[in-house]
Structure 1
């Protein structure tokens, strides 16, 4: 059955296309039902389940990569947030250009604060840096005194 598509009007072409689509869907669903029946018959005859033949496989990709909570929020549109990672969003750049707006003023409550343990580690690092600096300075003055 050859149809000369060039002789058909636009409405006839649309009708033909919709008929062909519905026929394609019907044929496809019938084919799927046949294949499913064959597979179920094979599994039943072998005494197996589909899970025995095709065990669930873990999807490959990023593992343990959790999303980062938002750290900054647009006061003009609270639905716009930024985690502080990656390129700065346009709304943030525009707000920072305004006088008096700082990154700290856009922090979500509690988002930018360090945990007490992290704060102690930071304080300990600062103290150890200061101690190292003082020791270095003392050694330098001792060397100068010896030379003189």
Structure 2
């Protein structure tokens, strides 16, 4: 076993890093990519510095441990950028407060309104087609309107 560890060289670390990154593609979980990057770093450093296998394993462990806070920082930053568009994946919530023209009249509390290329079902007081209505509430695909 120690013979294998002694023969750990630069190319083995580079291959190990590429294999870990390939495994990340097969089983995504944003974990193996960081270990792959750590192995690639050890391989690149080993090109410039002649180091023992113990030092190489120590460098790999340190890089892998340092990857955790780095990953958390990157993940937190990408989550914060999602706040730039608060209505992403909540299209109906972005419609509250806007006014539209009824496509079909509201009869017995139900009608439709065309918004861009989509026809939405709306609920509200009976109103004739062509009237302007304001969206006051959105619950999934169900919009509640009042006369504008």
Choose between structure 1 and 2 for higher RCO, CA contacts under 8 A separated by at least 6 residues: 2
More helix by percentage = 1
TM over 0.5: no
TM-score using structure 1 length: 0.27
Please identify the structure whose Cα radius of gyration is greater.
1
User: Which has the larger share of strand?
Assistant: 2
